[in-house]
Structure 1
Amino acid sequence: MPSMFERTTKKLVKEIGDQKLRPVRFWESATKIRQFSLIRRKKARSWFWQLPDDPLDVSLMHILEPGSSVPDSAVEVPALFSDTMVRKQQAAGSVNAGAEVGFSGETTVCRGSSLEYQIVSTPHETWKKLQERKLLDPEPAFLKQCREAGVNLYVVTDTVELLNSPVLQDLSSGTSRENSPSLGIFGQGGGLKMSEKKLTVPKGSVLAYRRKQLVFYSREWEILYIADDDDQETFPAVMYNRQALAGHMDPATPRKDFKKLEEEVSQMVKAAELSKGMRGAVFSNLLAMLGHREALQDLMDKLEQEPFGHLEGPGGTILTELRKDSGYPEVGSKSLLLYLLEALMVLSDSQHDLLAQSMEKRILVPQRDLVRNILEPNFNCFQNIPFTLQPELLAPLQGEGLVITYELLDECGLKMELNSPRSTWDPEAQEPLSALYGALSVLTQLAEA
């Protein structure tokens, strides 16, 4: 399932009922996004997932000529949203995963939040007055970099802002009875497991926002009020070659199915020319970076520069090794690394931590096989349907490894039950599961070093 924060913002947006509002996914972004903030959106190298919005520390006001003060924004009446959920699950059955295991138990999950918020919107008259201002001359270095990178830029037009500082809570407890420790989630013979998560969200944080695409023509600019995502380019003069970006793909969007995803990953791996030393360096230094989303984003940005930019720490080590491995920035090794980083950016912060544990425990191969087994038959299923995990795929994932794997899948949106191989497919899980499969597949290749 999504993180505690993302789950709350999605529920709030659903309650408000505005389909153009975008829930903020990561709580770190909640204090960066403001009215008139600029959002960067890159096109992914994969056909199977989209990169999340990247809020920048730059405002529209930073790139426009100074002018008179901006008219006050319209503020809607403050509102209150409270959400409490208590769910009980019971499970009973047996699994043959190397040894016959019987289980029974009950899990209780409690979640709650109370949000006071207001919606801050920008009247049309404000945009008319702002568009009388021209872009700064000379062109800001920030815009030049975005133009050269071929990214699209958006401006935040409306925000949903917190008026209080709520504490998000997630409490779960469970009891289990087992006749074998083979899948010992709660320990041999049964027992009680309790976990509690809390997150305090600062007052003034933005939980959701609307955005509109920007388009620049020399020193003129405009907002696309009705265009869908990426219908146009922010910098129309730039000839943006989707085929070059994607590497092996032709410009026509392929019919999406799991076989095509497998082919995409396979071709990315085959096109790379990573030495054993390079694979080991990337694996160990990425392990050190997981859990630091900004560090991963910085590495992506430096990799896309020609020549590569400079970084300190683990990211800098990866860049140094990549320079040693090849003198050509377009080689497959760079594309593969960017492909992996983009897949990781789709995943949640919790999944980054779980992947780091998986890398340390060397359970990437059985995890990849399990994800393949889930995706392949359900890829184009658009209904919530039950499915059963194959016992032979669960067998290599004992004890803590199984818990980590279930949590990885749970974070993708599958309704996992810790003591049961049964689950429910959710069509919204297709994209994060595809990204997880891509990440696990590439990490598996790196781990061979």
Structure 2
Amino acid sequence: MPSMFEKITKKLVKELGDRQLRPVKCLVSATKIHQFSLIQRKKARSQFWQLPDEPLDVSLMHILEPGSSVPDAAVEVPAAFSYTVVRKQQAAGSVNAGAEAGFSGETAACRATFLEYRIVSTPEETWNHLQQRKLPDPEPAVLKQCREAGANVYVVTDTVELLNNPVLTDLSSANVSGKFSLPLDILVKGKGQGGGLKVREKTVTVPKGSVVAYKRKQLVFYRRGWGICYCEDNDQETFPTDFKLLEEEVSQKVKAAKLSKGMQNIVFSNLLAMLGDHKALQDRKALQNLMYKLEQEPFGHLDGPGGTILTELRKDSRYPEVGSKCLILYLLEALMVLSDIQHVLLAQSMEKRILLPQRDLVRSLLEPNFNCFQNIPFTLQPKLLAPLQGEGLAITYGLLDECGLKMELNSPRSTWDPEAKEPLSALYGTLSVLKQLAEA
């Protein structure tokens, strides 16, 4: 059941009508939360509930390198909130459970409070100023603890702060009378007529300056940099995965497959036939059908190149489920992330046997920018471009352009786009697996 304090903060947030405001649920947190405070939320072990916000005893200023003073936050005009509710209820009845008991009663409840508050907000200029400051090396202990716990971290951007010392009052009473042959409570004892009035009063004094509601934004940390996740769903990770995890994932998939040379050759040649189909819709449909049949137990049946791959997989009695099947499904999923144009360009890359230099080039883009959430310029390394001259370079630039990186053939310079990370990761996985298959 919500506490008296939580009931009031929820009423205030509802009155203010700002969906981003979060009511503070306990008085202890109200004295810990301030502007720029850090808050962690650990991941629940169930998908059906979330753990509550947990204020940390540090602020954003404590984990950043020292810098010049922060601009003053904007303060809105002070306001007030008064809340009073009176509830009265009557009841009567009788009970016969081996003994006679008749009763009538009346209950009443009253809650009242008066809050004076101000809303403190943080202007955009402040965040621009703060993001110029880096994280110290090594990282602060509090961040290490949150990383190891798998918790997401947030920063308080706006607060609703009290300007007075309100006393929250909850007054309730019960008046019961009647004829009893059983003792009901301390108000009535024994047989006969009886009656009693029970009054209960609860009061809580909230200290001036307490935060009763707040807004927060999720933080994202990468290397010595950091950023703010502005999406309302907060579906980012505070400590996003590193490129090395993608690299290890691909490597593990390939090692676990243990494909024979003959099997590698069959998969490679038949995927080439499927990707080289210039009828894009048929190409994508064929890849999807192969995925569906692979997911069936036992494998389904197909005609064409996909059917040839399924036939050979049925002959692979060593690790048909754990190895070969998983690797091919992994490759097909990566291909489905890529565009139809990229499928055609990949078929050309397979024919020209330029998969290895293409993979190394994509790696050179992903590794330094994997957790970069800003548009920053980059330059392709000349030694990585050397094996990709002429038509091979045009094919490669086309693959990158379809990922969202605007490349020009006469220039190795471009700008990193954070939205290109997912298709580039899929391209890296695709090139890595195809390169392994091509070794047959």
> Which residue in the other structure is 2:12 paired with?
12
Taking the aligned partners of 2:128 and 2:137, their CA distance within structure 1 comes to 21
1:177 deviates by 2.3
2:221 aligned with 1:206? no
Q: 1:237 aligns with which of 241, 244, 247?
A: 241
CA deviations over 1:171-202 (Å, ceiling 9, x no partner): 11110125243643743433111111111111
1:43 deviates by 1.5
Taking the aligned partners of 1:50 and 1:185, their CA distance within structure 2 comes to 41
Q: How does 1:75-224 map onto structure 2 within 5 Å?
A: 75-95=75-95, 101-178=101-178, 179-181=180-182, 183-184=184-185, 186-188=187-189, 189-224=194-229
Q: Which amino acid aligns with 2:196?
A: G
Q: 1:28 to 1:97 in 2, by over 3 A?
A: farther
CA deviations over 1:84-140 (Å, ceiling 9, x no partner): 111111112235667564332111111111110000000111111111111111111
Check conservation: 2:160, 2:211, Cα contact below 8 A.
Answer: yes
Taking the aligned partners of 1:174 and 1:203, their CA distance within structure 2 comes to 33
SS at match of 2:105: strand
SS at match of 1:190: strand
Relative contact order, higher structure (CA 8 A, sep 6+): 1
Taking the aligned partners of 1:52 and 1:132, their CA distance within structure 2 comes to 31
SS at match of 1:146: helix
Q: Which amino acid aligns with 2:238?
A: T
1:50 deviates by 2.0
> Which residue in the other structure is 1:226 paired with?
231
Q: 1:98 to 1:78 in 2, by over 3 A?
A: farther
Long gaps (5+) in structure 2: 246-440
Q: 1:12 to 1:139 in 2, by over 3 A?
A: same
Taking the aligned partners of 2:97 and 2:130, their CA distance within structure 1 comes to 64
Q: Which amino acid aligns with 1:236?
A: P
Check conservation: 1:216, 1:222, Cα contact below 8 A.
Answer: yes
Greater Rg by CA: 2
SS at match of 1:144: helix
Taking the aligned partners of 1:26 and 1:99, their CA distance within structure 2 comes to 44
Q: 1:167 to 1:220 in 2, by over 3 A?
A: same
Q: 1:99 to 1:136 in 2, by over 3 A?
A: farther
Long gaps (5+) in structure 1: 240-449
- TM-score under structure 2 length normalisation: 0.52
1:2 deviates by 1.5
> Which residue in the other structure is 1:3 paired with?
3
Taking the aligned partners of 1:39 and 1:98, their CA distance within structure 2 comes to 57
Check conservation: 2:60, 2:155, Cα contact below 8 A.
Answer: yes
Taking the aligned partners of 1:15 and 1:151, their CA distance within structure 2 comes to 31
Taking the aligned partners of 2:79 and 2:223, their CA distance within structure 1 comes to 42
Q: 1:108 to 1:41 in 2, by over 3 A?
A: same
Taking the aligned partners of 1:63 and 1:225, their CA distance within structure 2 comes to 20
Q: How does 1:282-361 map onto structure 2 within 5 Å?
A: none
Q: Percent identity?
A: 74
Check conservation: 1:99, 1:182, Cα contact below 8 A.
Answer: no
1:228 deviates by 1.3
SS at match of 1:181: coil
Taking the aligned partners of 2:181 and 2:39, their CA distance within structure 1 comes to 52
SS at match of 2:29: helix
Check conservation: 1:109, 1:170, Cα contact below 8 A.
Answer: yes
1:37 deviates by 0.2
Check conservation: 1:181, 1:187, Cα contact below 8 A.
Answer: no
Taking the aligned partners of 1:5 and 1:83, their CA distance within structure 2 comes to 12
Q: 1:210 to 1:182 in 2, by over 3 A?
A: same
Q: Which amino acid aligns with 1:32?
A: K
SS at match of 2:12: helix
Check conservation: 1:101, 1:183, Cα contact below 8 A.
Answer: no
Q: 1:141 to 1:113 in 2, by over 3 A?
A: same
Q: 1:196 to 1:65 in 2, by over 3 A?
A: same
Check conservation: 1:101, 1:182, Cα contact below 8 A.
Answer: no
